[in-house]
Amino acid sequence: MNIRRPISTATLAGVSVLGLLALSACSPSGGARTEDGKLRVTASFYPMEFLARQIGGKHVEVTDLTKPGVEPHDLELTPKQTAQLGESGAVVYLKGLQPAVDAAVEQSGAQHVADAAALTSLEEHGTEVDGHHHTTGDNHSHSESEGGKDPHVWLDPVKYAEVAKGVNKTLAKADPKHKADYQKNTDALVEKLDGLNTEFKNGLKKRSSDTFLTTHAAFGYLAERYGLTEEAISGLDPESEPSAKRIRDLHTLAEEHHVSTVFFETIANPATAKALAGDLHLKTDVLDPLEGINAKSRGKDYFGVQRANLAALQKALGSK
């Protein structure tokens, strides 16, 4: 008589790990390294890809899960992409921004993972401050990550530099042989980000207004860093119309704070911003949340687009 013993979870875990190891061993395209020995790094979306490339340099091959022009928050992963995560030498992502990626990273068992949300402090942007409602934007839950925290840390060069230092540590652990090069690349990147921070500080020092209007509340950290107030067209997805009350409030706000411009972004539909600007007799311009780079981006990389953002803010805020 056969007695069937319950299989312990530890045994199961061991079996599935062995299965994964066997799979990655037989799959010629897989593995933590390329044929020429580069570390395979999977990044979740553009700001993470940029860090991985800048820090990894010639020692890494980076794959971005989010293709250019795709709204990162809406990303769905293919089974192939999910498998790729598990086989990566390192993963660079931002927990709380892309639910599909969060779930896949958790399941992947990837050993060397840099989570940008854990590498710098996250804050809530969406509270009453000084009697102003700082909104966290549209109806998409993506405006805030877990616990109402705002994930858009990369738009603040100081926070982005903190994330860069954490990514450096992860790459060095995954590939200790090139630790010195990763450190050198990180130092150079952090220096450039410090320079960008100084450009923003100096560029926005003398201005006639502190308040800017956006369709997507992505700029909370940037606003906070340089003493600005971001007002997003609240409670909206980019396709819907603002309520009559919100339009009235924005009228008052625009007059009180000498607002000249309504900002929209490159990936989302500009209809709401343009309609609102028409109602308020304001100009429109682009403020890019830098979630991806495409042909319409005002710059070829993070630094190019951030400088375009600075120029747009200077113009809108009447910088002298």
The ranges assigned to domains in the chain are: 39-126+149-197, 204-317
The chain-wide mean pLDDT, for the chain, equals 84
Do 39-126+149-197 and 204-317 show the same overall fold?
A: yes
Give me the residues of the chain with pLDDT under 50, please. 2-29, 127-141, 143-146, 235-238
SS3 category, 144: coil
CATH superfamily of 204-317: Nitrogenase molybdenum iron protein domain (3.40.50.1980)
* Residues 290 and 269 sit within 8 Å (Cβ to Cβ): no
- Predicted pLDDT at 270: 77
SS3 category, 230: strand
Look at domain 39-126+149-197 and name its CATH class. Answer: alpha beta
- Predicted pLDDT at 147: 54
Task: Classify strands 39-43 and 261-264 as parallel, antiparallel or unpaired.
Answer: unpaired
- Predicted pLDDT at 315: 96
pTM above 0.85, yes or no: no
Task: Classify strands 211-214 and 261-264 as parallel, antiparallel or unpaired.
Answer: parallel
- Predicted pLDDT at 22: 42
pLDDT tens figures, 65-99 = 999 878 898 899 999 999 989 999 999 999 999 99
- Predicted pLDDT at 251: 87
Q: Which two tokens stand for residue 290?
A: 């830098």
Task: Classify strands 283-286 and 90-93 as parallel, antiparallel or unpaired.
Answer: unpaired
Q: Please name which of 169, 50, 44 lies closest in space to residue 103, comparing C-alpha atoms.
A: 44
* Residues 88 and 110 sit within 8 Å (Cβ to Cβ): yes
Residues 57, 54: Cα–Cα separation, whole Å: 6
* Residue 255 amino acid letter: E
- Predicted pLDDT at 92: 98
* Residue 98 amino acid letter: Q
Residues 6 or more apart whose Cβ sits within 8 Å of residue 292:
45, 46, 66, 68, 69, 70, 72, 267
